[in-house]
Amino acid sequence: MADGDKAIGASSAVDVEKSMDVEKHIDPTLEKHTHDADEAMKALDELHGEAIELDESTNRRLLRTIDWHMMPIMCCIYGMNYLDKTTLSYASVMGIKTDLDLVGDNYQWLSSLFYFGYLAWEYPTNRLLQRLPLGKYSAACILMWGLILSCFAAVGNYQGAIAIRFFLGVFEAAVTPGFALLTSQWYTKDEQGSRVNIWFSFNGVGQILGGVVAYGIAVGTAKHGSSIEPWKIIFLVTGLLTIVLGCAFLWIVPDSQLNARWLSKEDRILAVARVQVNQQGIGNKHFKMYQVKEALLDPMTWAFFFYALIADIPNGGITNFFSQLITSFGYKNEQSLILGVPGGAVEVIALVLNGYMGRWTGQRLLCSLGGLFSALIGIILIVALPESNNVGRLMGYYMTQASPTAFVALLAMISSNVAGYTKKTTVAALYLIGYCAGNIIGPQTFRPQDAPRYVPAEIVIIVCLAVCIGIMLFVNWWYVKENKRKAEITSRPGYVRLQNQAFLDLTDRENMDFVYAV
């Protein structure tokens, strides 16, 4: 990962030594921020003006160290994050409906209950991510959701399943915003897009692993029998694996560069200095109401929110019904488990390719449209092809699995394009509230009376994907326009900057030197 990334050297846009030594004029309207700086300023103040030298080889060494410590565990946890949500889909064709007496739309509501918990706790968990140690709080949530998922094996009725799904959503609510904060904390803007695509792509790995495990359990128990129901085994396996990974996360992932046990004291300071280019710092524990207000008045906040809401109506439906959707193509229950595996592979390939294409072209948002167009064509194939064309409709389903590229592109934009720690956590919370709402609505579009083809739900998905393409084009246009406006302001002769401006917890709209990634 590190070898393909552009290094920050002495000749780059970020000359750390100069930024520490050169006095700049202080803008009186922003002087208040010098008294409430980012956590990175504490470490830099201890240097008493000592210059920091960060050459190209040092930066590449640091980036390689960060990648090999942070990315593997983040990828594994995010894969489990997807798998743990979708175990219900595998269980739906492994006997859970009969054992828990799920009738009518009980299954639809059980699918949605996860997101009610996620929705209820999303903003509080974002505040806690800001107030509490980032690494430790994230690890605690991972351990709790693994424990709760394991308890699903003890559920004997619909009411118990409702409680499990709700609290599973509560504790998983911290993962995506927490990972977005970790990415913005450790990586430069130029590096963030590809990293977000990589760890998010492990959703697809989770789907591959889940399909293989569920198929193995279904076939093994059918052949050799089992003392407990097959669907309970899959909850136990995934829950216990999550707990193990949560313990590893707690040990490996620090709260910031300043307490990373796998970095020397000198490298901790250099790891902070290398992200100065982001103009965002590494974290601020103070809640700032003005940043909340700015977030609520920023058009991009609502573009993100409505994208997440509309895009996740298809996601919520397909994620919870893909096994049943595949059986509607004419395949058996056991076949549907293993036939879901290639869909995960499509997601992994689409996200990783999108991350590197976006970085190569410098057009992350426009490149992400490829996944939306693929999904749109795929769902049209499912609707338009005759029922006898099972293979063609299955290929259409696989094409829909490329759709997360745009969702991930916007998630990376929250990491790279939203500055001010309170503003960033607010925007992330609203984005994921939209995500929850869409995933609550999605399963409800798959009505029992429309089985097995679910044509009305598929038409809803087509409309949603078309609207999402329009929103992405608007976001790209807005950021290009804002960059031109800021460039004009900073080029004026009278423009002045604050000393160490990058670490003063300014918002992206306050800081005219902040350039939006597209």
Where are the domains positioned within the chain? Answer: 23-267+282-503
pLDDT score recorded for residue 388: 84
Amino acid 471: pLDDT: 97
DSSP symbols for 28-74: GGGGGGGGS--HHHHHHHTTTT------HHHHHHHHHHHHHHHHHHH
For 23-267+282-503, CATH gives 1.20.1250.20
- pTM for the full predicted model: 0.80
110, 158 in Cβ contact below 8 A?
Answer: yes
The radius of gyration computed from the CA coordinates of the chain, to the nearest angstrom, equals 24
Predicted local distance difference test score (pLDDT) of residue 254: 95
Q: How far apart are CA 30 and CA 184, in angstroms?
A: 23
Q: Which of 343, 338, 408 is nearest to 375 (CA)?
A: 343
Q: How far is Cα 263 from Cα 273, in angstroms, rounded to an integer?
A: 14
CA distance 37 to 466: 43
If we measure between CA atoms, which residue out of 179, 164, 212 comes closest to residue 74? 179
- Grouping H, G, I as helix, E, B as strand and the rest as coil, residue 137 is helix
For CA atoms 446, 449, 451, 454, the dihedral sign is: negative
Q: Which residues of the chain have pLDDT under 50?
A: 1-29, 34, 48-49
Rounded CA-CA distance 131/490 in Å is 33
Burial (CB count within 10 angstroms: exposed 0-12, middle 13-18, buried 19+), residue 10: middle
**Torsion region of 12: left, alpha or beta (phi above 0 gives left; psi -120 to 50 gives alpha):** beta
Taking the C-alpha atoms of residue 219 and residue 447, their distance in angstroms, rounded to an integer, is: 29
Residue 36, pLDDT score = 58
Q: Would you say 100 and 161 are in contact if contact means Cβ atoms under 8 Å apart?
A: yes
- The position carrying tokens 């099972």 is 390
Q: What is the 3-class SS of 454-482, one letter each residue? A: CHHHHHHHHHHHHHHHHHHHHHHHHHHHH
Where do the H-state alpha helices sit in 225-332?
A: 230-252, 265-273, 289-297, 299-328
Q: CB-based contacts of 211: which residues, under 8 Å, 6+ apart?
A: 90, 337, 338, 339, 340, 341, 344
- What's residue 43's pLDDT? 59
What pLDDT score does 22 carry? 33
